[in-house]
Amino acid sequence: GVMEKLGLGPEVLLQENPRLIYARLTGFGQTGKYAKSAGHDINYLALSGVLSKLGRKDENPYAPINLLADFAGGGVMCALGIVIALYERATSGRGQVIDASMVKGVAYLSSFLWKTQNLGLWSRPRGENLLDSGAPFYEIYRTSDGKFMAVGAIEPQFYKELIKGLGLDSNELPIQMSLSDWPEMKKKFASIFAQKTQAEWCRVFDGTDACVTPVLSLDDVASHQHNKQRSSFIKNDQGEISPRPAPLLSRTPAVPSGKRDPFIGEHTEEILLEYGFTKQEIAKLYSDKVIGFSKPQANL
């Protein structure tokens, strides 16, 4: 209702420009019991059903930072809605309103969970299934230097490579999909991974199809050989590292800026002047605390 209070709701603007695409990105959506309620990523995850699937056995569910609902179910799904609406407008010549709810967005992203329930992937309690830390071959293990290795050797041929790299004999082990043996196998794998450093395990598994990779920190990720070869991370003019825009387009790839991120409010006055506001109007907006300024400090 914020835009309506400003007299800028979709009904008003679409009347003025029927081709307008008006995206509304909210947590709970434009209608429903919680439509006007406050919330955050963890609340949207909870209401979508996804949160109930996240977490280890005998532990509370946990929310993985705020990437799933806010950015994936919200931002990415909203952007996709805008692209779809633009594509449709090329045919109809008409715009439309996009109701991008983070609850619905992240629920839709989880369609895989719903569609595979009857395939046995999610038939057991949380933390006991193939992809939720139940399987010893789909798990994260600590190394002797306190770092971690990620293991995702699901297919038999990949599992065979994992067993070989760990120095085990498959003839002396239970079969891979013996669920009752998974807890003991996890202990065995953990004890072996704890005997070498992360770098040593990389030397063992790099170049194999064991699906074993290092868990890289944000400090290390840009210097990893694969990421360097792909130029996956970039530095700005302040030396700050961030991910390069993705996906990579062959003909019109994104050209990332080398400038530092702006401070909040750094360009407020400049942009308002560009759009025709007078200095007096801007000063009034500032005194009414509608806008804020933040100028970088001069280096004297």
Where does 2-119 sit in CATH, by number? 3.40.50.10540
**pLDDT number for residue 300:** 46
CB 109 within 8 A of CB 22: no
Q: What is the DSSP string of 69-118?
A: IIIIIIIIHHHHHHHHHHHHHHHH----EEEEEHHHHHHHHTHHHHHTGG
Can you give the residue ranges of every domain in the chain?
2-119, 138-215, 261-299
pLDDT band at 297 (very low <50, low <70, confident <90, very high): low
> Hunting for tokens 């953990």 — which residue is that?
190
Q: Is 73 exposed, middle or buried (0-12, 13-18, 19+ CB in 10 A)?
A: buried
For helices 102-109 and 77-92, the axis angle rounded to 10 degrees is 90
Residue 286, helix vs strand vs coil: helix
Token pair, residue 47, equals: 């209401």
- What is the tens place of the pLDDT at every residue in 221-259? 999 999 999 999 999 999 999 999 999 999 999 998 889
Residues classed as catalytic? 40, 70
- What is the tens place of the pLDDT at every residue in 107-155? 999 999 999 988 878 889 999 999 999 999 999 999 999 999 999 999 9
Strands 22-26 and 97-101: parallel
Kindly list the distances between the CA atom of residue 69 and the CA atoms of 63, 65, 101, 245, in Å, as whole numbers in the listed order: 10, 10, 9, 20
Give me the mean pLDDT over the 204-230 stretch.
Answer: 97
**Residue 61 pLDDT > 80:** yes
Where does 138-215 sit in CATH, by number? 3.30.1540.10
Amino acid 179 reads L
Angle 46-111-177 from CA coordinates, rounded to 5°: 95
pTM of the model: 0.87
